[in-house]
Structure 1
């Protein structure tokens, strides 16, 4: 598996090189990725007695235990150091750095489990948070160099204040996991494992007696802590600060490192073969690519992405399809008419979307003129309104329609009214922002022509601005209606009425042959609305 990930990265670099574009940028991205992943991504598992005692140490945290792992980040540094030289020299740095890193990483991942000690590094994460505050203000100083004299000292003060507060007892009260979060992995003292194994075996009889009383199978004596059947340490061993490091249970950091090493090696080999595959902006492009790639690995891990779960759940999907087909359109003997219910609820869903979109458009139209910079910034009286309306749009757009529906259902009760209100409130901000941006991009020629002959503001608005923006307003409103129809289906799941409410009820009752009617109706109506909206836009815009 480990070698397969490396080969996947190697293959990816090979395919990218076939495009005859620059491959040096991929070498830079892989080198940067190795450095960040070595410091921030969990490489292996270190388990204790309880599941909450488990942790995933990074490669840098494992260096006191396995110093040879330093070849991985050193390989990235070697590739980055040679990359500016370009040509075959850069390729040599990538190929050698990737090869050395691969050998050291495979040697670790294929090793046995080990007893290790943990040593927290106090203040490290607090310092990183303070540094992040400073760098944020430093970036503002770089963008606004005229006020750099303000941003840099302010960033330094905020960074220091943040570090001191987070390191204080008050900071640890609000962020308890930050205290000693980063831990170094040290080898256990000589003879520690033998001593702990003997203690475990001596207390095994009493432990097994307790396990039998609660219906658990007895444990057998072990020769090493790595041989424990349940893969975790005894409680007394864990309480002494020991952990069982399991290299063959890798974290997502191992996958990231192996893929980066594969891309690094492959890019280096390409540059050795074709040294002209490089461009002037490779360093900056590589930085962007590295940022994108580094954000993907933690996201996949946080979402517990696992295709194996889909394979295991396949029998449920087959059973669902078997119970859902053919659809139960009507059951007169039981007084059930699902098709009629679906038609009624679908009509209600369309009406929710229609009323919600209409209300949003009615309120968004006048407020969008106040949110247009080109109409308000020339007047000291209107400029505060611009900031006020734009702030309202930003806050409103940040609150999802589903959250608004949950609050409004609690306020006004179950039913479509809550869905209409939630949809209108959220859509107001979306439409207002789109309308205001359309107003800001109007052609200044007609406006200046009317102003030159002394036309009033209302006439300028009527004859110069509205003819330019109304077609866009119509297009945006129709598009928002399409979105709101899909949103109204989800709102039904939380009690706001419509077809979503019908589907949830059928699903909860296990009536899959009725639920599938709602799904087919959604597919049909979505396509009808899409075609109708496209036809209207072609006629009106």
Structure 2
């Protein structure tokens, strides 16, 4: 598996190199990604007695236990340093830095399990939060040097205040996992592993008796900690701060590091052969690529992305298709008419979207003029309304329609009324923002011409602004109606009526051959609305 990941990184670099663009940026991206993942991404798993006691130490945290791992960050620094010189030096840096980092990492990953001790670094995470709050103020002080006297003290005060509060008992009450979150991995005391193995074997007979009573297979005596197949330590050992380090249990950090190392080596080989593939902006481009990659790896892990689960669930999909086709359009003998129900609920869904969009447009139209900067900046009173409306729009847009529907269903009961209210409330902000931006971008010529002849504000609005923005308003409203129709389908799943409510009921009852009628109807109506709305917008704008 480790070799496959490393070679995959090399292959990716080779494919990108075929474009004949800058390859040095890939060496930089691989090195920066490597250096970013080393202190932040969990490398392997270390388990205790309970599953919640498991942790994923980073490569940086493992260096006290396995000092040879320091070659991995040194390889990244070497590659990054030689990349500055460009040419074959950058290629040599990528190959040498990636190669020695890969050999060091492989030596650790292929090793046996070990009993390790943990040493929490108190105050580290609290300090990082304080530093993160300080950095924007340092940037402001750098960009606006004349105001540095204001931004620097404010940033330092905010950073130190956050660090002090988070490091206090009250802060740990609200963020209990932050205290000692980052832990260094140290070798266990001499003889601790042997004592644990002997202790496990002595209590094995009693443990197997318990396992037999609950229907579990018996365990065999172990020679070392690698033989602990279930990977759990005795409770008292785990409570003493020990963990069982399992190098073979890779975390997403190991995947990232192996890919970055392979990417560095592959890019370095390209540069050794074509040393002219470099640009002046390689550092900036490499930094952007590394930042994107570093955000992707933890996102895949957090979402538990696993194609194997899809393979395991394939029989369910096959069974669903078998039960869903052909569609059950009607059962006259039972008095069940799914096609008629779908037609009625689809019409209701369109009506929910129509009423919700209309109400939102009616409220967004007048408020958008108060949210337009070019109409309010001259009057202090109107300026206050401008900030109030923009704040309302931002808050309203931050609350999803589904959340509003859940709240309103509880308030007014099941049915389409809750869906209409939720949709209208959320759409006010979206339409209001679009309307106000259209007003801000109007041509100033007609406005100045009417003002020069003494026209009143209402006349300027009627004859100079509205003719320019009304086609855009209609176009935005039609587009919002398309979105609201799709949203109304989802709202039906939480009891707000419409075709979504029909689909949820059919699925809960196992009537997949009725549910598929609703899905087909949605596809047809969505395409119909899209084509009609696009045609109308093309005529208006």
TM-score (norm 1): 0.98
* Residues 1:203 and 2:196 are matched in the alignment: no
Indicate the residue corresponding to 1:218 in structure 2.
Answer: 218
Report the secondary structure of 1:111's partner residue: coil
Question: Are positions 1:194 and 2:188 aligned together?
Answer: no
Once residues 494 and 361 of structure 2 are traced to their aligned partners in structure 1, the CA distance between those partners, rounded to angstroms, is: 25
2:301 match: 301
Taking the TM superposition and a 5 Å limit, the aligned residue runs for 1:143-222 are 143-222=143-222
Deviation at 1:494, TM superposition (A): 0.3
Query: Counterpart of 1:253?
Result: 253
Q: Cα distance, 1:143 vs. partner?
A: 4.4
Query: Is the Cα contact below 8 Å between 1:35 and 1:76 reproduced in 2?
Result: yes
Q: CA deviation at 1:191?
A: 1.5
Aligned residues of 1:225 and 1:233 also touching (Cα < 8 A): no
Specify the alignment match of 2:374 in structure 1: 374
Aligned-pair CA distance for 1:240: 2.2
After TM superposition, give the deviation of residue 258 of structure 1 in Å.
1.1
Shift of 1:212: 2.9
Q: What's the CA shift string for 1:136-178, capped at 9, x where partnerless?
A: 3223334444433212211111111111111111111111101
Answer yes or no: is 1:314 the counterpart of 2:302. no
Query: Which structure 2 residues correspond to residues 47-446 of structure 1 after superposition, within 5 A?
Result: 47-446=47-446
Moved more, 174-183 or 223-232: 223-232
Cα distance in 2 for residues equivalent to 1:440 and 1:153: 37
Cα offset for 1:84? 2.0
Give, in angstroms, the shift of residue 236 of structure 1. Answer: 2.5
* Contact persistence 1:38–1:73 (CA under 8 A): yes
Residue 208 (structure 1) shift: 2.4
Alignment partners' CA distance in 2, 1:160 and 1:396: 33
Mean CA deviation greater in 26-35 or 334-343: 26-35
Deviates more, 1:492-501 or 1:268-277: 268-277
* Per-residue deviation, 1:291: 1.2
Equivalent residue number for residue 11 of structure 1: 11
The range that moved more, 199-208 or 25-34, is 199-208
Aligned to 1:464: 464
Contact 1:133–1:159 at 8 Å: present in 2 too?
yes
Secondary structure of the 1:381 match is helix
2: CA distance, partners of 1:141 / 1:532 = 53
SS in 1 for 2:323: helix
Greater Cα offset, 452-461 or 502-511: 452-461
Matched, 1:26 2:29: no
Deviations 1:271-323 (A, max 9, x none): 22222222222212221221111110000000000000000000000000000
Alpha-carbon offset, residue 190 of structure 1: 2.0
2: CA distance, partners of 1:23 / 1:152: 39
In structure 2, distance between residues paired with 1:531 and 1:366: 29
C-alpha displacement at 1:220, in angstroms? 2.1
Aligned to 1:487: 487
Q: Which has the higher mean CA deviation after the structures are superposed, 389-398 or 256-265? A: 256-265
Asked if the contact 1:45/1:55 (under 8 Å) is kept, the reply is yes
Q: C-alpha separation between the residues in 2 aligned to 1:507 and 1:21?
A: 52
The worse-fitting range, judged by mean Cα deviation, of 452-461 and 242-251 is: 452-461
Post-superposition shift, 1:125? Answer: 0.8
Q: Which runs of 5+ in 2 are unaligned?
A: none
User: Which range is displaced more, 388-397 or 275-284?
Assistant: 275-284
For 2:381, what is the secondary structure of its paired residue?
Answer: coil
Deviates more, 1:36-45 or 1:134-143: 134-143
Instruction: For residue 458 of structure 1, give the secondary structure of its aligned residue in structure 2.
Output: helix
- Taking the TM superposition and a 5 Å limit, the aligned residue runs for 1:501-512 are 501-512=501-512
The answer to whether the Cα contact below 8 Å between 1:120 and 1:184 also exists between their aligned partners in 2 is: yes
> Residue 409 of structure 1: CA displacement?
0.5
**Deviation digits for residues 366-392 of structure 1 (CA, Å, limit 9, x no counterpart):** 111111111111111110111100000
How far apart are residue 480 of structure 1 and its match? 0.7
How far did residue 10 of structure 1 move?
1.3
Aligned mates of 2:235, 2:204 — CA distance in 1: 12
Are the counterparts in 2 of residues 121 and 182 from structure 1 also a CA contact under 8 Å? yes
* TM-score normalized by the length of structure 2: 0.98
Q: Distance in 2 between matches of 1:146 and 1:465?
A: 40
- Structure 1, unmatched stretches of 5+, are none
Report deviation, 1:224.
Answer: 1.5
Question: d(CA) in 2 for partners of 1:445 and 1:260?
Answer: 56
> Partners in 1 of 2:42 and 2:283 — Cα distance?
27
Q: CA deviation at 1:461?
A: 1.2
Tell me the alpha carbon deviations over residues 442-482 of structure 1, each in whole angstroms, 9 at most, x when there is no partner: 11122112111211111111121112111111111111111
3-state secondary structure, aligned to 1:220? coil
Aligned length: 541
Cα offset for 1:251? 0.4
SS of the residue 2:217 aligns to: coil
Q: Distance in 2 between matches of 1:73 and 1:304?
A: 28
1:393 and 1:142 mapped to 2: Cα distance?
32
